[in-house]
Chain A
Amino acid sequence: PYLSFFARALQPAEYLATFLVSPNPLLLFSVGSFVQEHGLRPDGRKADEARPVTVNTGSVSTADGSALVRMGGTLVTCGVKAELSNPPVESGDCGYLVCNVDLPPLCSPRVTPGPPTPRGQSLSQHLQDTLISCRCVDVKDLIVGQDNLCWVLYLDVVCLCDNGNVRDAVFFAATAALRNTSLPTVDVSSGSPEVSYQQRHPLSLPHLPLAISYSLFESHILLDPFHEEEELSSGHVSVVVLSHLKMGQPDCKLIGGLTKSGPPSLPSQKLIELVHRAQKRARLLADLLLTASGDKKT
């Protein structure tokens, strides 16, 4: 009775739980395990299976770098604009980044027009914190000449369709856009700066952050949740893996963030296992990114 169309609308939690629990009564006792051998999610995926990812870079011609990322039904775009400015007083001789993640009413029926919600603000803060604290962008490289001039990078990430797991898509879009970004050359030798928009050079990116998120629904851990699963889940775990190129191949070992919040509590071995799996998935995403910007030199 829980698998009918009306059950999905009236009792969504029981609907999801019925899918995830294995039909084999012997396996019911292993309900806490990460990979459900027989249990499937409503869209046919296993607990540790993610949706297909596509990325398209450089589509916004007015931006210095851009990317459009689709993870299943979630669609997120990011544009990077570089402007000249004075370096911040506190940090001195380096440029800076300003990240903003926008979840407009366009993306979901649950979002109403108005000021940014705590969810949107939290995503902006997470992205900004990660890019700065993990030194993903070499801010010292953004300095121009000797005369108190630097580049400011404005990263605007807009979610066009929220079908769950916006965080992963936001990070991937920001990473792809940064990789696609090229800065014009500035000539400061003649007193006033002369910007030449034709001659461009790419950004110096020591690490690329890739987020992999799981949602915690009762005793199940679901990779890349879609919006229904996310709403029913009580907690989530996000792992940010940093990828850098080592002899032409992406190396995804370092962790740039591990955020777990919400019930249920997990044993620490389970968290470490999730981080291992995230590192593997990050490798796939990093390879995809390399393929997408195949003609771009790093």
Chain B
Amino acid sequence: MAELRPLRCEFGVLERADGSARVVQGATSVLAGVYGPAEVKAGKERSNRASLEIVVKPARGQGGVRERFLEQLLAGCCEQCILASLHPHTALSVVLQIHTDQGSLLSTLCLALCLALVDSGLPLSSPFSSLSTACSPDGDLLTDPSLAQEQASQSLVTVMTDCSSGRVISTHTQGVCSLQQLESSLAHAEKAGEKMKQFYQKAVQRRLAKDAKFSHLNIAI
């Protein structure tokens, strides 16, 4: 049975943002802020939908090519799930701040993004979740690895799934893996998506009940 690291999340962390969430998964910690629909710059304005901008800020320094790559992957999730056509001539901007990176960073970023979007009240077609799997050369799979487990493995597969349909929104792999390992990772991600859907429902209920902080939810799949 595969397990995820302990997951802790907090809504409404940023007062000035329309939606925000802090997610701590194991020791990886990320803060996401969503701003919008807001006024858009003339050059970026789109007549049929909102224009989306995602910025990923690293824990230290300015951010370079690696952050641009992460932004492109996360933008794919947003394009898929946010009903941007409901807000034409506006801008939606998302800022993700990485506090600590102790493994499965892309997954945690994706979770924080989804929770912040839920907190902001923007129309979403469905929530999305993400699962990272570390593959070792002898075929073993470790779900939601820590940094040490990631570095010891041969590859890291991150899959973002649509929680309601189970379909794959985005994937990203790093390192060498076999086709069988890929298939297993996709299957694990689909199962995790179902569990995360229940988590989001609970999270929204607590948010609406004004219980903005809750912690130490262990999720097993």
A contact residues vs B (CB 8 Å cutoff): 118, 121-122, 124-126, 129, 133-135, 207, 234-235, 242, 253-268, 271-272, 275-276, 279
Contact = CB atoms under 8 A, between A and B. Distances in A.
Given A263-B80, A265-B168, A122 B178 contact: no
B176 A255 contact: yes
A261 B159 CA distance: 10
A255 B182 contact: yes
A283 to B, nearest CB: 14
B182 A133 contact: no
B68 A268 contact: no
Contacts of A264: 80
B178 A259 contact: no
Given A255-B182, A258-B157, A261-B170, A118 B176 contact: no
B73 interface: yes
Nearest to A134: B176
B173 A257 contact: yes
12 contacts: A129-B174, A133-B174, A133-B176, A235-B79, A253-B179, A255-B179, A256-B175, A257-B174, A258-B157, A258-B173, A265-B168, A266-B168
B187 interface: yes
B186 A263 contact: no
Contact of A122 (B68, B170, B171): B68
B79 A263 contact: yes
Given A118-B68, A126-B69, A265-B167, A272 B80 contact: no
Interface majority SS (helix, strand, loop, mixed), chain A: mixed
A257 B156 CA distance: 10
Contacts of A261: 72-73, 75-76, 170, 172
B48 interface: no
A271 B72 CA distance: 19
B177 interface: yes
Nearest to A264: B80
B80 A256 contact: no
Given A263-B80, A268-B186, A133 B175 contact: yes
Interface residues of B, number: 37
Given A261-B76, A272-B182, A121 B68 contact: yes
Given A122-B69, A125-B65, A255-B176, 6 more contacts: A255-B177, A256-B175, A256-B176, A259-B172, A263-B80, A265-B162
Contacts of A266: 167-168
Contacts of B169: 260, 263, 265
B172 A125 contact: no
Contact of A265 (B66, B165, B182, B186): B165
Contacts of B161: 265
A11 B79 CA distance: 22
A122 B72 contact: yes
B128 to A, nearest CB: 9
A260 B176 contact: no
A82 to B, nearest CB: 23
A262 B66 CA distance: 18
Nearest to B171: A260
A272 B178 contact: no
Nearest to B74: A261
Contacts of B171: 258-260, 271
Interface centre among A207, A235, A261 (most CB of B within 10 A): A261
Given A125-B65, A125-B69, A259-B171, A268 B183 contact: yes
A255 B178 contact: yes
Contacts of B75: 261
Contacts of A135: 176
A260 B170 contact: yes
A228 B177 CA distance: 33
B123 to A, nearest CB: 15
Contacts of A253: 178-179
B186 to A, nearest CB: 4
Contacts of B167: 265-268
Contact of B175 (A122, A134, A234, A267): A134
B176 A272 contact: no
> Which 6 A-B residue pairs are closest in the complex by CB-CB distance?
A261-B76, A265-B167, A268-B186, A125-B65, A263-B80, A121-B65
B190 interface: yes
B69 A260 contact: no
Given A267-B168, A271-B168, A124 B173 contact: no
B10 interface: no
A257 B165 CA distance: 24
B71 interface: yes
A122 B79 contact: no
A276 B167 CA distance: 19
Interface string B172-216: 111111110011001101100000000000000000000000000
